[in-house]
Amino acid sequence: MIQELRNSFNDAYRPQKYQALLAGLKARAGTEIEFRVAETPIFLPKSMLEEMAQAGAALTRRLLAWPEYLAAARKSIPENFRVTGDSAHPNFLTADFALIRDAEGYLVPRLVELQAFPSVYAYQAMLNEEYARIFGLPDQLGYFLGGLDRNGFWELFRRTVVGNHAPENVILTEVDPQHQKTLPDFLLTSKELGIALVDIATLVPIGDKLHYRDDSGRLIPVDRIYNRAIADEMMAREIKLPFSLTGSWDVEWAGHPNWYFLISKFSVPWLAAPQAAPGLENGEVTSGRPRSSGPVVPPAVFLTDFLSGEGFAQLRAAGV
């Protein structure tokens, strides 16, 4: 996107450097990277990235302050996944955007989805470091937003995941984590934060506490869970947990599981509706461009409404 940087990178690119990138990632993660790694980073203006981040935050604030939406979203939580002890807001949220050209030819973002669930934060930080190291990128290029640098990012991440607890009593849980493609992120997170990586199906309930076994087989009480176990996968694989998710456990969640359902793709038709009051405070991104660049949320309807005809008419009226 920044032509000078794009040209410079392309001119200096060599396949051997890409192989060195893959080797560096594997060495730092301590495991194979099973998913495709791009040969190149994308060079975007910081102002564009900051505005997309601000738009994602604005859309989230809109949803959190929308009782009718939250009530409807809560009905989507399967009964056996309704975890007690909701937090007031999600600890983690990812907003995915696509870039399109508007009628004036400006590149503008459009929302793809929102998901209140952790992403591969540790891996992404490491990936950017390795791009910069292997390809000798300029020092002034950054990859953190919101005024953060590397130390600030890890401090915020540590505070969010570990909280005020001893790392020994904080765990990262996933379904069969050793066989997930996101294992590199799990291992990096575990190493950096000093927390154990645990298969959620191996937790041991005793009284109102959950426990995990360390490498020596010792039972360690769990005070806080950094949850990476996706409900959809547990349902699809018919995972039988040794404890009930709906029980009253003496544990904190870093990323309360209910938020996975409360802010998701389900939110997009709501945000696209007229009652969402589109505007800058609700996610419009202008970056100095004319206001005709429009709201960041594209037209969207629920499939049931589309099939009934009403949603189809709404999309036609919106020019889709």
In the chain, pLDDT over 70 holds for what percent of residues?
94
Q: Check residue 295 and give its pLDDT.
A: 82
In the predicted structure, residue 102 carries a pLDDT above the cut 90: no
CB atoms within 10 A of CB 286: 15
pLDDT at residue 289, as a whole number: 47
- Kindly state the percentage of the chain with pLDDT values over 90: 82
User: In which band, very low, low, confident or very high, does the pLDDT at 293 lie, cut at 50, 70 and 90?
Assistant: low
The average pLDDT across 74-89 equals 93
The pLDDT tens digits of the residues spanning 126-172 come to 999 999 999 999 999 999 999 999 999 999 999 999 999 999 999 99
**Exposure b/e, 119-137, CB count within 10 A at least 16 = b:** ebbbbebbbbebbbebbeb
Q: What share of the chain is helix, strand, coil (3-state, %, to 5)?
A: 45, 15, 40
- pLDDT tens-digit profile of 35-66? 999 999 999 999 999 989 999 999 999 999 99
Residue 313, C-beta contacts closer than 8 angstroms, at least 6 positions apart: none
Give the confidence band of 294 by pLDDT, cuts at 50, 70, 90: low
Q: How far apart are CA 320 and CA 315, in angstroms?
A: 5
Chain-wide mean pLDDT for the chain?
91
Query: DSSP string of 175-219?
Result: SSGGGSTTHHHHHHHHHHHT-EEEEGGG-EEETTEEEEE-TT--E
- The pLDDT, as a whole number, for residue 279 is 44
137 phi, psi to nearest 5 deg:
-70, 155
- The residue ranking higher by pLDDT, 175 or 279, is 175
Tens of pLDDT, residues 183-196: 999 999 999 999 99
